[in-house]
């Protein structure tokens, strides 16, 4: 089986579905990761890639390390502006994703939930949904939306569609790999009780697992499934 993960920023792919990625690769599936936006540059008042050069290089190295830990076959990093993707033409984002779908021919795509606080997450969601519209001959059979700790749960339920998972992946055997991959992103992780801390993410995985009777799980919202 061929799988494509479309994430906004370096670390989102691990936060959202790192355990599922590892499970896919251990089962012999081919997983490709597409990261659309750079990180770090939104932390300055104005976008300046030259000033963030060292941070961007470190994130690229971390993304490669995380991919190797999870067994990913290919990783592609694009450079859309961090937390400024609402300034980009949506069609330009869609075209990049369509090209990768044509190249990789994935049966499954994992990507962001529409209700996240982060604007880039919402923009990627819109682009993926458009790229995999169910026209005749569409290769993508299953579309899954993941949660990102420190974005999905921060959106008030009155402001956007809440994340109500209806698809769970048992990651009891691969949670340790997810945590190891997250530690590669040292600059992005935060101390507990921040939602984007190793402890919090372990708790989340165990809670999602307990919700369906297993030791650990990742939760998703099913967008489409063709059987």
Confidence class for position 45, pLDDT limits 50, 70, 90: low
- H or E stretch at 63: helix 53-70
Between CA 224 and CA 145 the distance in angstroms is 10
Tell me the per-residue pLDDT of 129-180, one tens digit each, with 9 for 90 and over.
999 999 999 999 999 999 999 999 999 999 998 999 999 999 999 999 999 9
Confidence class for position 53, pLDDT limits 50, 70, 90: confident
Between CA 10 and CA 142 the distance in angstroms is 23
Between CA 25 and CA 139 the distance in angstroms is 20
- Are residues 15 and 200 in contact, defined by beta-carbon separation less than 8 angstroms? no
Q: Does domain 2-225 have CATH number 3.40.50.10320?
A: yes
Indicate the average pLDDT of the chain: 94
Short-list 177, 15, 227, 206, CA closest to 110 = 15
């Amino acid at each position: 089986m061929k799988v494509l993960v479309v994430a906004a920023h370096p670390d989102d792919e691990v936060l959202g579905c790192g355990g599922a990625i590892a499970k896919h690769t251990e089962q012999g599936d081919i997983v490709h990761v597409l990261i659309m936006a750079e990180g770090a540059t939104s932390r300055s008042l104005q976008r300046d890639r030259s000033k963030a050069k060292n941070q961007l290089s470190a994130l690229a190295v971390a993304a490669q390390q995380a991919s190797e830990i999870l067994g990913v076959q290919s990783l592609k990093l694009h450079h859309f502006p961090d937390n400024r993707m609402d300034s980009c033409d949506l069609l330009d984002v869609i075209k990049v994703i369509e090209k990768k779908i044509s190249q990789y021919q994935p049966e499954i795509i994992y990507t962001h939930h529409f209700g996240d606080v982060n604007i880039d997450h919402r923009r990627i969601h819109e682009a993926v949904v458009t790229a995999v519209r169910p026209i005749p001959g569409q290769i993508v059979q299953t579309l899954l939306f993941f949660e990102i700790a420190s974005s999905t749960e921060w959106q008030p339920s009155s402001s956007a569609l809440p994340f109500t998972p209806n698809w769970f992946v048992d990651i009891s055997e691969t949670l340790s790999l997810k945590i190891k991959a997250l530690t590669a992103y040292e600059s992005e992780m935060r101390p507990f009780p921040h939602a984007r801390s190793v402890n919090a993410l372990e708790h989340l995985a165990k809670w999602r697992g307990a919700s369906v009777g297993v030791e650990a799980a990742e939760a998703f919202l099913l967008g489409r499934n063709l059987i």
